[in-house]
Structure 1
Amino acid sequence: MLQSMTAFARCELSIDEGILCWEIRSVNHRYLEHNFKLPETFRSLEWPLRDKIKKELSRGKVECTLTFSPQIKNNPIQINLELSKQLIQAAEQISELTINPTPINPFTVLSWSGVLITDQINHELLQEKALALFAQALQELKQNRNREGKELQTLLEERLVSIDMEVNKLRPLIPEMLDNQRQKIITRCQELAVSIDPQRLEQELVLLAQKSDVAEELDRLQTHLTEVRHTFTNKEPCGRRLDFLMQELNREANTLGSKAIDVRTTQAAVNIKVLIEQMREQVQNIE
């Protein structure tokens, strides 16, 4: 089954501490490359997240973004009065040692760590929930890649059928084209009134027929088409293999065009190359 490397997934989770949200974007790439954008609280998760991606994906440039919006609660503000008194007393003692001391600013006291009593967040539990949500988003990404992979396979199969039609249309014309070329050469020699040894002429015509015979190229084209279809059934990622097969198909199409002795062969070679190029562009997105 084919998998596309281009997909997007978004998963959100609302919990007591706030809202967690993962966004994962994947595009085509020669290898597996991943990039994470994480809030400072979740930086320690990067290596476990990398391991999860490596187990699920083999190719593609993957960008993963985590956002966390803390829950705003309407609880009354609580102040650590004992700590506030100690800070004020310490500030007054320092003021006695200075000339023209500045009055104590209440907001300066409030900004001191521990003066405002806030609800403690269980960061370990929060990270576990972020990991579980990432696994969910990653599965959604894979499903989207699978769905697009099926669409790509349909497009490729349509073009394989078109190439088959070109090959099957050209194959029965080969004897006729070779015979036409033979008659053209004989007629041309007669028009020029050139005296040529019949045996030597026959040998040259045989060599020309061998060089112009495209049956072997058509056979190899169909062999490669069969291999492409077989590759579709592989369970392992097959993007690189398909890319190689596109190169081999293009090689045979080029040879077919170079050996053309008839406009019909030339036209078939051009049509096949166009179809191969269309497939090659799609194959670049396959994992």
Structure 2
Amino acid sequence: MLAKLTKYRWQYVMVLPAIVLLFLFSYIPMAGIQVAFKNFHIGYTIWNAPWTGVENFSFLQDDQFWIVVKNTIIIAALKFVTGFPAPILLALLINEVRNSVFKRFVQSVSYLPHFFSWIVVAYILQSLLTLDGGLVNDLVRKTGGEPIFFLGSTEWFRPMIVASGLWKEVGWNTILYLAAITTIDPQLYEAAKVEGAGRLSQIRNITIPGIMPTITIVLILSMPSLITVGMDQIYPLMNPANQPVADVLDTYILRNGLQQGYFGMATAVGLLSSGLSLILVLITNQISRKINGEGLW
């Protein structure tokens, strides 16, 4: 053991800052989990607040909470079905582009929206979709249609969230798959050409199997996001008109927990959400190992 530490000492030195940050910002804050079982208010510390058992989990009997769970599951499912395969498909398409200048242009344009904050994206959507002066509704009027209140519609809110999330992140997520494609041995493609395989056959039999380990890892790591679904995206666009379909677990925690001072309840909901995320990761990792032998551990 000491010999390995000595041999790889500089590698350990490089990893040390990440370990320290992980410990400070991920493990030490776990002490706050006890707030879920305490009557915590301003003036108490997490150590001297009185214990209340499972009283903070009374939200499980709240009908509104289960509506929020339903909204979270629907939005998470829609975002996963569209958002997970889209970067893979875009990476495959970009990889087939032979003009290097055009290829770099497409890559740059596709991942540029990632650097916009969700507040900026929300402002862009409001400018485009507003009833009075919005570009989309102006086009609807010019084509003889009736203007649509997109921002206050319970029918259009979920498609709007899914489409904006796809536009903002698909290019950035593609970078990882393009990097994985570059690790595939070019001789495999040459051999496939000799055998008469076309482009689709090469993608199906070489490219996709070659990036399958990366797809598996990304799939496992994306599981926790199914529970959070992105409050920073949803909250700026949520209003009383679309709240019946827009209210998700994170916004529920913010409104009923933090804004009203019910810190114990907010922590309890967060603890339950984290537990479900952990279960999803464990199940996905196990299924992945059984199907293709690849997993995080």
**Structure-1-length-normalised TM-score:** 0.25
Higher helix share: 2
Higher strand share: 1
**Structure-2-length-normalised TM-score:** 0.24
